[in-house]
Amino acid sequence: MSSLERDKAVPAATVWTWPGLGLWNLYFIVKLALFWAGYLNLQLLPNLVLAAVLLVPLPHRYLVWLRTLIAVPVGVALFYQDTWLPPFSRLLDQPGVLNFSSEYLLELAGRFIDWHLCGQLLVLTVVYFFVRQWLRLTTLTLAGFAWLGSASLLAMQAPAPQSVAPVPGVAAVSNAEPDSPTLEAYLQKFYTTEAARQVKFEPSTSAAQPFDLLLINICSMAWDDLEAVGLRDNPLLQQMDMVFDNFNSATSYSGPAAIRLLRASCGQQPHSKLYGMAAEQCLLMDDLRKLGFSSQVMLNHTGQFEGFIDEVRSQGSLPAPQVSTANLPRALVGFDGSPIWRDREVLDKWWLNRVGQQDARVALFYNTTTLHDGNRALTADGGTRSADYKPRAQALIDDLNTFLKQLEKSGRRVAVVIVPEHGAALHGDRMQIDGMREIPSPSITHVPVGIKLVGMGKPPANGPIHVSAPSSYLALSQIIARLYAAGPTAEGQEPDWQALLANLPQTPMVSENSGTVVLDYAGKPYVRIKEKGAWLPYPQRFK
């Protein structure tokens, strides 16, 4: 038998034919399209491995079915991992999500649907089924992966940055994008620098008059939010004595933000250390107690969601609230169904109690959730409806304005520090939907901070003094310490603004949630989604 005859005798079933990807082409083409549009962080190697497994020829159709059965959940999980959404472990770490009201859950579900994007994907799907009749799309898919891989190799071979910022806060000069080791080294240098910084509260030897300190901690108010609803230039900020234009709240969640404020006397800690034992010299309220201030707490909400009040009390050295708000009427209903009281009524009740006390100095921590995402307004029939952000923000601004006027009429000396926890994320971007704050982006952590000195001297002649340097909580602690140490101001004269504001501590923009870090390097934001993961440029937000 000739060799040609022997070849013809081989059964056809033993000759393997490499299959195409079939319908999986649509899966990969959609992912590549979303990646190029900036909606995904496509991981090249896992997707190539999945494609390779799908391309391997199998001798029996039952094995093909089994492979498909396994590949479908793997593909779904990989698609989720390629998105900017937080890992499921993060969701499991937040059991409070289960306490969201059904109305809020429906509202959140609606935000995940981008109808414009859905329309584009529908068109892409129709085009796919139309052209698959003439083109071998597996070749197109693999060409897309090849292009992506070559781009990654070119990026790896690009020249390394020529210099690294030696001190956080000083812009780095470089001709190339920083790589992950460069950004990681910058972050660790930041932690080292911050760990050595501290504000010392010294007993005053001057004849300074006693004053009260009010820390008004506002949930969900960033510059970006105020600008979105046309309230950036509002009367509350216009009447401040000092306004921080570049203040970073360092996180996008309430508990960590409140803890950072209450530990303002030391430099910025990593998120992982927020829930450990704090050094005594870092606790702002303890520092004030040593100077004769009596610590007090008020909330316009129950503080029970995810144990907020217990958390900030234990981590920030706070007493329990002493003035009950239980008899006040509800102004709003929280996203978890709990009552939210009107800020003016809560503050009025606290102030009435305060003026009846004999304490020479009081330091109040006041937390408000009036602007929290998902809050609902009351209706005449006893039900609730969705509450827009702008009217709630306007009501809060009006309430705080009214309260400040009440303080001025009292003739007492009060330093009011208004410092939001984080923004409301009214604008979504390619990484997060509207209202989502898993990643502490600059638009969420860039918050308006103002200080008003009531009865402590004449306000600045030309409106608020603006602090433009990058700042955070350490600068607030420094101002409070200087206010305590300052001598008395003659009637009709301004405080010594130069002494109060000179050489305030500057803090570069580094923001964190659990497992997620965003930092500014040479004027550009970068994000690390997972611990020890790669650093990526933060994508530009939608306009």
Nearest residue to 331 via CA among 371, 367, 277 = 371
- d(C-alpha 521, C-alpha 506), whole Å: 15
Nearest residue to 437 via CA among 323, 356, 516, 536 = 516
Residues with Cβ within 8 Å of residue 97, at least 6 apart in sequence: 91
Helix ranges, 20-92 (H): 24-36, 44-55, 61-82, 88-92
- pLDDT (average), residues 85-97: 59
Torsion sign across C-alpha atoms 461, 402, 222, 498? positive
pLDDT at 260: 97
Between 254-262 and 473-485, two packed helices, what is the crossing angle to 10 degrees? 30
What does the H/E/C string look like for 152-194? HHHHHCCCCCCCCCCCCCCCCCCCCCCCHHHHHHHHHHHHHHH
Nearest residue to 372 via CA among 348, 399, 396, 350 = 396
Are the beta carbons of 436 and 442 closer than 8 angstroms?
Answer: no
Q: Using 50, 70 and 90 to split pLDDT, how confident is the model at 61?
A: confident
- pLDDT (average), residues 17-37: 86
For the stretch 277-331, pLDDT in tens is 888 889 999 999 999 999 999 999 999 988 899 999 999 999 999 899 989 999 9
Are the beta carbons of 460 and 467 closer than 8 angstroms?
Answer: no
Residue type, 65: W
**Is residue 172 scored above 70 in pLDDT?**
no
pLDDT at 38: 74
For the stretch 407-424, pLDDT in tens is 999 999 999 999 999 999
For the whole model, what pTM was predicted?
0.83
For the stretch 306-315, pLDDT in tens is 889 999 999 9
Q: What is the CATH number of domain 211-254+291-466?
A: 3.40.720.10
**Is residue 393 scored above 80 in pLDDT?**
yes
Let me know how long the chain is: 543
pLDDT at 257: 97
- d(C-alpha 296, C-alpha 294), whole Å: 7
- d(C-alpha 169, C-alpha 398), whole Å: 36
More confident residue, 160 or 530: 530
Give the range among 81-90, 236-245, 380-389, 477-486 with minimum mean pLDDT.
81-90
pLDDT at 171: 44
- Encoding tokens for residue 421? 């926890």
Give the range among 49-53, 143-147, 242-246 with minimum mean pLDDT.
143-147
Q: Using 50, 70 and 90 to split pLDDT, how confident is the model at 543?
A: very low
Nearest residue to 243 via CA among 476, 69, 455, 414 = 476
pLDDT at 356: 92
* Domain boundaries along the sequence of the chain: 13-156, 211-254+291-466
Q: Using 50, 70 and 90 to split pLDDT, how confident is the model at 16?
A: low
Nearest residue to 442 via CA among 457, 432, 455 = 432
Q: Using 50, 70 and 90 to split pLDDT, how confident is the model at 527?
A: very high
For the stretch 350-376, pLDDT in tens is 999 999 999 999 999 999 999 998 899
